[in-house]
Amino acid sequence: MAEGEDSNVSRHKFSIAYTGKSRESDHSIDVQVLAPALLAFGKLLREANSEFNSKKSTAKVLVVSDFEHKCFNINFELVVSLYEQLKTLLGTETASSAKNILEWIGIIGGPAATGTFTYLRYLKWRRGRKVTSATPLVDSDKTGVVEVKIEGDGNAVHVHNHVYKLSENAKALRATRDAFLPLGHDGFEAVQIREDDLVVDEISADEVGDIVASCNIGIEKSKETEPEIEETPAWLSVYSPVYDQSAPNWRFRLGKEVIYADISATSIARDALDRGGALVDDAYQVRLQIITDIDAQGNKKQPEYKVLQVIRFVPASPAQQQTTLFDKP
C-alpha cells in the first residue's frame, strides 16, 4: 500500500543490503546473525517514531519478501499508525510521516534531512567524542534545529532537536549497534541503504566503528530510567493456575523460566472455568508484553509480564490428571 491510501496510516518502504566482495554470488546469511539485526531495525524505528510523534503513535516494521539482488538484501516497510489524528493533535508541521522519520534517520534521502545532519550521519561524524554543548538556534522554535559542539577540535554541526534526543536515547543506540551485527561475519563488509533499488548510502566497516563508538558513549552517559517495554510472540504453558476468575496473575512456563503473567486482558480464566478446569502444561500462543523497570542508577529490575492477546490454545494431554477450578490451589 502506498503512503496516503489509508488516512490512519503512513507507510514507506526501504531496503538494507549487507554486502562484501566475497558475497556477490552467495545470498545466504546465518540466521543467528541476521535475527538481532532485523529486530534492531524495528526497535530503532519505533523509538524514532516515539521521539518524533510522541507515544500517542505506534509504529511497526514489516519485512517484505524479495531476495533477488546480488547480495543479502532485505526489504522493509515502516508503518506509522494514527497519522491523521497526530496531525490534529500535534499540528501539521510537527507530525512526522513514515517517510519523514526515515529521512531524519538517514535511511532514505529527502527534504527533511536538507541542511542538517541525519541521525546516522551525526553518529558517524561524532566518532565517540563527547558533546560539550547543544544550543538551540535563534529560530529553533520554528525549525527545531540545535547546534552541537564536540570536545577536541571545536567542530560544530546542526541537527534537528529530535535527532539529537534520539542520539541520547539508550534504547535507540543499542538498536543502532545491533543493526550492524552482520558486518564482520562470513565476509560481510558494508551495509547499503536502498530506496526503490537505488543506493542511498553505503556504510563501511570503519564508519560502523565510528557509529558504534558514538553509541557506546551515549549509552554510558544515559541516565535511562524509563522502563523497557517489549511486545513479542511467545508460548506459555500453565505451571500453576490460580482458581479465581478475578485473579489477575497465573504462573506459566516461558521456556525454562517460571513466571507470573497478568492475564486480566484476556479470557484465559473464564475459558478455563467454562472447560471445568485446567491442566498443567495447557499451552497458549500469545502476544506477550514484557516490562522491565530501571532504577535511578540504571539497574534493571525483574521484568513483569502481561498477556495482551491469546492467539491459540493447545490443551495438554487428556491422560494428565485434571485439576478443577474448585480444587484448592
Q: What is the pLDDT of residues 259-271, one digit of tens each?
A: 999 999 999 988 9
For the chain, give the mean pLDDT.
82
Q: Do 116 and 233 reside in the same domain of the chain?
A: no
Higher pLDDT, 257 or 74: 257
Place 66 in a pLDDT band, splitting at 50, 70 and 90. low
Higher pLDDT, 291 or 113: 291
Q: Taking Cα atoms as reference points, which of 42, 112, 30 lies closest to residue 78?
A: 42
Q: Do 184 and 45 reside in the same domain of the chain?
A: yes
pLDDT at 67 > cutoff 60: no
Q: Is 178 helix (H, G, I), strand (E, B) or coil?
A: helix
Domain end (from 221, 244, 279): 221
Residue 4, domain member (yes or no):
no
Query: Around Cβ 113, how many Cβ atoms within 10 Å?
Result: 20
Most trustworthy range by pLDDT among 83-92, 135-144, 149-158, 241-250: 149-158
Please give the Cα distance from 165 to 147 (Å, whole number).
13
Indicate which CATH number applies to the domain containing 258.
2.40.50
Q: What is the number of domains present in the chain?
A: 2
Sign for the CA dihedral angle at 14, 51, 56, 112 comes to negative
235 near 285, Cβ under 8 Å? yes
The reported pLDDT for the residue numbered 239 is 92
User: What amino acid is encoded at 104 in this protein?
Assistant: W
pLDDT at 92 > cutoff 50: no
List pLDDT tens digits, range 95-127: 678 888 999 999 887 766 567 899 999 999 999
176 near 122, Cβ under 8 Å? no
The reported pLDDT for the residue numbered 52 is 86
List the helix and strand counts (H, then E) for the chain: 9, 15
Name the residue range of residue 97's domain: 9-221
Q: Do 79 and 185 reside in the same domain of the chain?
A: yes
Q: Do 237 and 215 reside in the same domain of the chain?
A: no
Higher pLDDT, 242 or 31: 31
Q: Do 135 and 267 reside in the same domain of the chain?
A: no
The reported pLDDT for the residue numbered 247 is 80
Beta bridge partners of 229: 291
List pLDDT tens digits, range 9-37: 888 999 898 888 877 666 678 888 889 99
The reported pLDDT for the residue numbered 1 is 39
* Cα–Cα distance list, 169 to 6, 172, 215 (Å): 31, 5, 9
Name, in order, each residue with C-beta under 8 angstroms of 66's C-beta and a sequence gap of 6 or more. Answer: 73, 75
Place 83 in a pLDDT band, splitting at 50, 70 and 90. low
Q: Do 50 and 115 reside in the same domain of the chain?
A: yes
| Mean per-residue pLDDT, 73-101 | 70
pTM listed for this prediction: 0.77
Domain end (from 179, 200, 221): 221
Please give the Cα distance from 176 to 207 (Å, whole number).
13
Q: Do 270 and 296 reside in the same domain of the chain?
A: yes
Residue 3, domain member (yes or no):
no
Domain end (from 190, 205, 221): 221
